[in-house]
Amino acid sequence: MIRLEELIGAVRAAGEIVTGAQQIARHTHEKTSAADLVTDYDLAVETFLRQRLAQLMPEALFFGEEEALEGDPSKGWVFIVDPIDGTTNFVRGFHQSGISVALIRDLEPQMAVVYDPAKEELFAAERGRGATLNGTPIHVSDKPLDQGLFIMGTAIYRREFLHPTMLLTEQLLERSCDYRRFGAATLDLCYIACGRAEVFFEYSLAPWDYAAGAFIAQEAGAAASTLAGEPLPQIQRCSVWLSNAVNQHILSELTI
C-alpha cells in the first residue's frame, strides 16, 4: 500500500516537468478541436507518473487522461490521473494548471493529491484524516452564498451544455456576491476545500477532472454530488456540484 507521503513525492517530482517547460506552443497539438489541446508535457507527465506509481503500487490500475485504460476500473485499486489540468491555461501562460492524482479502491476514494506547480500549492487528503494545503489542515468556509463566491466551469468540450451553464450561472449570480471562472477544475475544487469560494459547478467533467479535487474537498467538509443530487461515480463523466455545508440546500432550489 502506498503512503500519502510517497504519492505527494511522485506528484511533486512530476511538477518539475511542468515548471521546466519551454516553448510550449511548439509542443502543442489539437485533439478534437482548437479548444481541446494536449502538449508533449502532458504526455511526459503522464508517462512519468505511470512509471513512478507502478513502482510504488504495482497492483493498481492506471486511469489517465492521455492513454487508454487497460482493465476494469470499477474493481480494486486504481490511480485516476490528469497530468496537466488546464492545458489551455498552460499553453497560453495563465499559470493556472494542476497535476491531479486520486487513488480509489472499489470506487471509493482513499487518497488524493492536486498540485499547482506554478504557485507551489499542494493539496492532499487521505480518507478519514482531513485535507491539507502544503501540509497545513484546511476546511471549507462557513459563508452563505449571499456573502460568498461561486466558481463555474463551462464544459467547453460539450457545447450542448453552454446554454444550461449560462442559465445556472445567472441563478447563482443572483444569490451570490460574484463568480469566478479559472479553467482548471482540479484546482477549482480545491479552492472550495480551502474556503476561497463556497460553491462550484460544471455540467460535464471527466473522472480525472474531479476525482482528486472532489475527494480533497469532501475531506475538508464539502458536500459533493452530480447536479442531479447523485453520488459522484468516480470513473465516469458526469456533472459536478460542490459546496460547503451551509449552501448544500441550494442545489435543490435551482432549475437545472
Q: What is the pLDDT of residue 76?
A: 96
- Residue bearing cell 508535457: 41
Q: What is the pLDDT of residue 220?
A: 98
Paired sense of beta strands 149-152 and 178-180, if any: parallel
Q: Is a pLDDT exceeding 90 seen at residue 21?
A: no
**Cβ atoms of residues 39 and 90 within 8 Å:** yes
Q: Is a pLDDT exceeding 80 seen at residue 35?
A: no
Q: What is the pLDDT of residue 237?
A: 96
Q: Model-level pTM?
A: 0.96
Q: Is a pLDDT exceeding 90 seen at residue 136?
A: yes
Q: What is the pLDDT of residue 243?
A: 98
Q: What is the pLDDT of residue 236?
A: 95
Q: How confident is the model at residue 22 (pLDDT cuts 50, 70, 90)?
A: confident
In the chain the domains, ranked by start, together with CATH numbers, are 4-138 (3.30.540.10), 145-253 (3.40.190.80)
Q: Average pLDDT in the 129-139 region?
A: 98
* pLDDT: which is higher, 1 or 252: 252
CA distance to 1, 99, 117, 155, 234, per residue, from 45 (Å)? 22, 9, 12, 24, 22
Query: Tens digits of per-residue pLDDT, 187-246?
Result: 999 999 999 999 999 999 999 999 999 999 999 999 999 999 999 999 999 999 999 999
Q: CB 245: neighbour CB atoms within 10 A?
A: 12
Percent of the chain at pLDDT > 90 equals: 86
Alpha-carbon gap, residue 114 to 210, rounded angstroms: 10
Alpha-carbon gap, residue 195 to 179, rounded angstroms: 14
Class of residue 14 by CB neighbours under 10 A (exposed 0-12, middle 13-18, buried 19+) = buried
Alpha-carbon gap, residue 239 to 168, rounded angstroms: 13
